[in-house]
Amino acid sequence: MGDAQKLPYDDDSFDCCVSSLMMQFVPDAHKAVKEMQRVTKKGGIVATCMWDNSGGLELSERFWDAAVAGDPGAKRPGYSRYGSASALSDLWTATGFTKAEPTALVIPMEFSSFEDLWRIQSNAQGPPKPYISSLSEDRRQLLKERLRAEILGNRPDGPFTLQAKAWAVRGVVL
């Protein structure tokens, strides 16, 4: 653990420096990227990725659609300020990288059944778990049934795949 805005390493310590899914949590992302550049050797790679804000997390979108349908007080998680190709590219360009081309990373999330998804969703870290835990058993069951219908429709239970998309950007330290 440490402070991304003040990395505890000497200049030019690493061939590459990567941060995953955390830029939105850093108070000064520009400072964090500058620190990543500082600790990376000349010619080395500095990269990051963030979940896509534009509906790229199919499971999250469907979960919150089902939650809000049954509970108008349910709050969707906020969007990341760096959850788009342009935002990441702009961050890298603003910190001195000349070639900051974003790349979409699409990850298939495979589930053996709806129960498999529900078990993971109920126990995973992130916004769904505390929301699910806050519900009475009756309301939790209603959410589960809404989500099942949202994902499976009228199909019988069985294996299915949902997509997750993140944006990645990298730059070479000059």
Residue 134 has pLDDT above 70, yes or no: yes
* 148 in any annotated domain: yes
Instruction: Give yes or no for a contact between 25 and 80, defined as CB atoms under 8 angstroms apart.
Output: no
Count: domains in the chain: 1
Q: How confident is the model at residue 4 (pLDDT cuts 50, 70, 90)?
A: very high
pTM of the shown model: 0.85
Residue 117 has pLDDT above 70, yes or no: yes
* 48 in any annotated domain: yes
* 3 in any annotated domain: no
In the block, residue with structure tokens 């330290």:
173
Residue 124 has pLDDT above 90, yes or no: no
Counting every residue written for the chain, the total comes to 174
Instruction: Give the CATH number of the domain where residue 160 resides.
Output: 3.40.50.150
* 7 in any annotated domain: no
Instruction: Give yes or no for a contact between 91 and 23, defined as CB atoms under 8 angstroms apart.
Output: yes
Mean pLDDT of 22-51: 95
Residue 100 has pLDDT above 80, yes or no: yes
89 or 73, which is more confident? Answer: 89
* 130 in any annotated domain: yes
* 8 in any annotated domain: no
Structure tokens at 170: 């990298």
| The pLDDT of residue 92 | 96
* 5 in any annotated domain: no
* 1 in any annotated domain: no
Q: How confident is the model at residue 1 (pLDDT cuts 50, 70, 90)?
A: low
Smallest CA-to-CA distance from 67 within 139, 159, 167 is with 139
Residue 39 has pLDDT above 90, yes or no: yes
Domain that holds residue 123: 14-172
Point out which residues pair with 166 in neighbouring strands: 51, 105
